[in-house]
Amino acid sequence: MLRKTFLRRAAGALLATAAGAGLALGPARAQAPVEVSFYYPVAVGGPIAKVMDDFAAGFMQENPGVKVTPIYAGTYQETIVKALTAHKSGTPPVTSVLLSTDMFTLIDEDAIVPMDGFARTDADKAWMDGFYPAFMLNSRTGGKTWGIPFQRSTVVMYWNKEAFKEAGLDPEQPPTTWGELREMAGKLTKKDASGKTTQYGVQIPSSGFPYWLFQTLTTTNDVILANEAGNQVTFDDPRVAEALQYWVDLGKAGVHPTGVVEWGTTPKDFFEKKAAIIYTTTGNLTNIRKNAGFPFGVAMIPANKRKGSPTGGGNFYVFKKASTEQQEAAFKFIQWITQPERAAQWSIDTGYVAISPAAYETQVLKDYAADFPPALVARDQLPFSVAEFSTHENQRVTKTLNDALQAALTGSKEPAKALKDAQGEADRILRRYK
């Protein structure tokens, strides 16, 4: 036993001496790549997943020391639940694309790190300052940058040019004000012989992201729903009630479906000519271009007191419990995938807004926009855009607003009363953050 111990120690000493002298002791071990697990909010196997797989492969080809593994985690809501559950169990993803509005929730959970610490060079800082300012409204707070814009959007209006022509309207002139929208929607609404509505003039979805679509009305009525610190809301502002009343009144006039309108089926209703005008994300642009069997237009949201729309979509975040090496690798991947050429291609492939002015200067996006001018509408709306609604305890506060909107749209509460009740509940939830 003593002899074996002696021999092991002697062999160890010999190896250490040889290594210290720089002697070759056999084939060198290849260093294992840095693993970057990456949660992405889409179902497995879709066309966007294929695009993302190609991006990951392209990055790894250029950066063989990093292994990026996209994990397709379902909807945005499912993805943040999975990411936070993994964070609490000590095995979070290294990076993830989550809603820009999840920023306060992720900060409150101590789940993410600011990006500023990774941006050490002048080039890094110039890159981080190169995104559209409207997208940074949901990416920065407290003087720090917590998220990097990736698949970002605004709400835009789509209209069926054939339906306009049939209704005696100029197919190249969409409504630009609340008044024009109400008037044109009346002319575009169709009924069959039994009096059943077969085509609504306008359709604004109120499931999935009701608060976001509602912001198209509050923004254009010149009122912001939450402060920059995320600890105060303005649901009981008279201008907010006026915006909700306008939405309810479209239904009462019969030019808009009554009750809750499904987010997911709204583009399909447009394709099937059940709605002549719809509000939805610019992220549906490629889908609508591919599937609408008629000429259509894309325009900014009709104004009342001002133009505008909320921004929307997802940011990249880097998780706190990842190793320093993993965080650095994730930052490198985020920089790579948001470069102008890739941001341009992502916009073309998906319909999302390219995230930087530099992306619109690429030849590929210039050529695409020349062939398909509607691709520029969401970009041109950015100077008038506001932050997507986001607060501390964001899911709870947002649910309070969504419930109020649906109560008003279904007729169970008057708009002003629904919003007043929501204000009281939101104040209670946010009290601890003031």
Domain check: are 98 and 225 in the same one?
A: no
Residue 17 domain flag: no
Q: Which residues pair with 40 in a beta bridge?
A: 72
Asked whether the beta carbons of 98 and 315 are under 8 A apart, the reply is yes
Q: Are 200 and 256 in contact (CB under 8 A)?
A: yes
How far is Cα of residue 285 from the mean position of the Cα atoms in its chain?
14
Q: Which residue, among 118, 14, 24, has the nearest Cα to 329 in the 3D structure?
A: 118
Which range marks the domain in which residue 91 is found?
A: 34-153+312-384
Q: Are residues 129 and 206 in the same domain?
A: no
Q: Are residues 116 and 232 in the same domain?
A: no
HEC assignment per residue over 113-137: CCCHHHCCCHHHHHHHCCCCHHHHC
**What pLDDT is stored for residue 239 in this prediction?**
98
Tokens of 372: 């398909």
Both 191 and 269 in a single domain?
Answer: yes
- CA 428 to chain CA centroid, nearest Å: 27
Do residues 137 and 161 both lie within one domain?
no
In terms of DSSP bridges, do strands 66-72 and 277-281 run parallel, antiparallel, or are they unpaired?
unpaired
324 and 418 co-located in one domain: no
Domain count, the chain: 2
170 in the same domain as 123: no
Tokens of 146: 């917590």
Looking at beta carbons, which pairs linking 336-339 to residues 24 or more positions away fall under 8 Å? 336/59, 336/62, 336/63, 337/55, 337/59, 337/150, 338/127, 338/148, 338/149, 338/150
Residue 319 and residue 303 share a domain:
no
Per-residue pLDDT tens digits of the chain, which is 434 residues long: 433 343 344 444 433 433 444 434 344 445 789 999 999 998 666 688 899 999 999 999 999 999 999 999 998 989 999 999 999 999 999 999 999 999 999 999 999 999 999 999 999 999 999 999 999 999 999 999 999 999 999 999 999 999 999 999 999 999 999 999 999 999 999 999 999 999 999 999 999 899 999 999 999 999 999 999 999 999 999 999 999 999 999 999 999 999 999 999 999 999 999 999 999 999 899 899 999 999 999 999 999 999 999 999 999 999 999 999 999 999 999 999 999 999 999 999 888 999 999 999 999 999 999 999 999 999 999 999 999 999 999 999 999 999 999 999 999 999 999 999 999 999 999 999 99
Cα–Cα distance measured from residue 236 to residue 234, given in angstroms and rounded to the nearest whole number: 5
Please report the pLDDT score of residue 30 as a whole number: 55
> Rounded distance, CA 402 to CA 419, Å?
10
Q: Are residues 116 and 238 in the same domain?
A: no
Residue 42: per-residue pLDDT: 86
End-to-end CA distance of the chain: 69
* CATH number of the CATH domain containing 63: 3.40.190.10
* pLDDT the model gives residue 166: 98
Q: Which of 337, 321, 398, 276 is nearest to 150 (CA)?
A: 337
Q: Is 28 inside a domain boundary? A: no
On whether both 412 and 346 belong to a single domain, the answer is no
Beta-carbon contacts of residue 58 (< 8 Å; ≥ 6 apart): none
State the DSSP H helix or E strand holding residue 266, giving kind and residue range, or none if neither: helix 266-271
Mapped onto helix, strand or coil, the DSSP state of residue 290 is helix
CA distance 363 to 365: 6
> DSSP assignment of 326-385, as one string?
HHHHHHHHHHHHTSHHHHHHHHHHH-PBPSSHHHHTSHHHHHHHHH-GGGGHHHHHGGG-
Residues 82 and 97 in one domain: yes
256 in the same domain as 296: yes
